[in-house]
Amino acid sequence: MIHNLDDTRARQILAAVVRSRIAEPRVPTDWSPALGQALAGQFEVHPESPAVSEGELARQALLVLADDPEMRRAIETMAANWNAFRQKFDLDRTLGTTAAVLLVLETRLKFARASDGKWSVKVEKKSASDALLKGLVQKLISFAG
């Protein structure tokens, strides 16, 4: 179902899920080249990859979230009942896709920033979906980098 979401709906569902389910962020939600380098190093991805759309990035983030069965049910419920859901929530106040993806990554990674401004990234929660996570990092770097 997630693969079939159009770009706008994928971005809006991602923003809604992140706003409702993820606690106060412990990492900055702004993209920086240093953060991109840390993620690329941790996941051995290359920034020279083809560009991706914002919708493609949002769908990949939803796939990572959907690895959790409870989250998958919430996403599928939102997607299946989109018209009713859209009327209940203020979707004009959307969270930026890059910020939302960084918050999704926060659910699996530990970010640390040294006093010299360099970022380090450590996988905190390993799962069967590490390939999905690596794919999300690749798409984020291609989109934001």
**Which is nearest to 39 in space by CA: 106, 93, 96?**
106
8 Å CB contact between 56 and 139: yes
Q: Does residue 51 or residue 130 have the better pLDDT?
A: 51
Q: How is residue 1 written in tokens? A: 């179902």
Give the pLDDT of residue 51: 86
8 Å CB contact between 67 and 127: yes
Q: Is the pLDDT of residue 26 over 70?
A: no
Give the pLDDT of residue 13: 85
Please tell me the pTM assigned to this model.
0.76
Amino acid identity, position 109: L
Residue with tokens 């699996």: 108
Q: How is residue 95 written in tokens? A: 């969270």
Domains of the chain, residue spans = 2-144
Mean per-residue pLDDT of the chain = 81
pLDDT tens per residue, range 73-120: 988 988 888 777 665 555 545 567 888 888 888 777 888 888 888 888
Q: How is residue 26 written in tokens? A: 């412990």
Give the pLDDT of residue 126: 65
